Chains A and B, each alone.
Chain A
Amino acid sequence: MTLPAVTTGDEIAGREVTLTRADLVRYAGASGDLNPIHWSERTATAVGLPGVIAHGMLTMALAAQFVADWAGDPAAVRSFSTRFTRPVVVPDDDEGATVTLGATVKAVDDDGSVTLGVTAVGPDGKAVLGKALAVVRGR
């Protein structure tokens, strides 16, 4: 498996991912994170949130998946770190909320590994992940 040829500063073509309430419920079950702020409007608003929000870890997983797909090998992702800067509010409708993912090449190491700065922007145009960095193994 060879990574796409890139140099520092290159932008990776982005992707939009739409999340509905059903996606949050599926992730809650798969991850075991049953915190009701991710499925109960009543609980979410009671703790001061504007509504049901996506798991930060789900947004992180989508961003990691974007990187894995770019690399062409899910096992090539060597590290991924991020800050959760803003919640993604997911409405109770069929349209859901769209997260826009993108990445910029931060470094290419001698061993061929690539460091990507990953961006994730919520429906309101504001970043939902901050300082997101992924290192992908080269070959």
Chain B
Amino acid sequence: MALDASFVGRSWPPRTYRVGAEKVREFARAVGATDPVHTDVEAARAAGHADVVAPPTFPVVFTWEATREVVDDPALGLDFTRVVHRDQAFELHRPVVAGDVLTTVVSVAEIKELAGNDVVTFRCDVTDPDGGSVLVSTATLVGRAGEDA
């Protein structure tokens, strides 16, 4: 099934996420991040951060949710039950810390067809309240063709 190519370049309304210290601690524990800057505010401050520091892949907590909303847009034509996450990239312009209020804008960077499968690259631009870029997350998803394709 070919996707609607007019989606390339389109973006969706911004979503805001407030980074909580307990979420950072929970995520750090789940990925084996044992450096005290992830869990101990004093250790984080001693290292020059405002609050506990999120591990590098923590942004997936809010970028995936934002992307999922777009994936589920029936107009795009992607069947989430057949989607495979093929590539992921994070470009971190500064560390994410507890207390950050981050705005994510999801856009479609590319749509391709590869051996009958739909390949869609989503880009999440994450900014702080001043509009400064905090990070860019890029995810390429493959919608596997159905049996009848």
Interface positions of A (Cβ within 8 A of B): 17, 23, 26-27, 29-33, 47, 56-58, 60-62, 64-65, 67-69, 73-75, 77-84
Contact = CB atoms under 8 A, between A and B. Distances in A.
Contacts of B31: 27, 30, 58, 61-62, 64-65
> Dominant SS at the A interface?
helix
B64 A33 contact: yes
The dominant DSSP class at the B interface is mixed
Interface of B: 23, 26-27, 29-33, 35, 37-38, 47, 49, 53, 55-57, 60-61, 64-65, 81, 84-92, 95, 138
Given A74-B38, A84-B87, A64 B56 contact: yes
18 contacts: A27-B30, A30-B23, A31-B64, A32-B61, A47-B81, A57-B60, A57-B85, A61-B56, A65-B31, A68-B33, A74-B35, A74-B37, A74-B56, A79-B89, A79-B91, A79-B92, A81-B90, A84-B84
Most interface-central of B33, B56, B61 (chain A CB within 10 A)? B56
A80 B89 CA distance: 6
Given A23-B30, A47-B81, 7 more contacts: A27-B31, A33-B64, A57-B85, A64-B55, A74-B55, A81-B90, A84-B88
3 pairs of A and B residues whose beta carbons are closest in the complex? A81-B89, A30-B30, A61-B31
Nearest to A19: B32
Nearest to B82: A47
Given A31-B27, A75-B49, A75-B95, A57 B57 contact: yes
Contact of A30 (B27, B37, B53, B92): B27
Contact of B55 (A26, A32, A65): A65
Contacts of A74: 33, 35, 37-38, 53, 55-56, 95
Contacts of A17: 32
Contacts of A31: 27, 30, 60-61, 64
Contact of B86 (A68, A80, A83): A83
Contacts of A33: 60, 64
Contacts of B55: 61, 64-65, 68, 74
A75 B29 contact: no
B125 to A, nearest CB: 15
Contact of A80 (B29, B56, B65, B95): B56
A28 B127 CA distance: 25
Contacts of B57: 57, 60-61, 64, 80
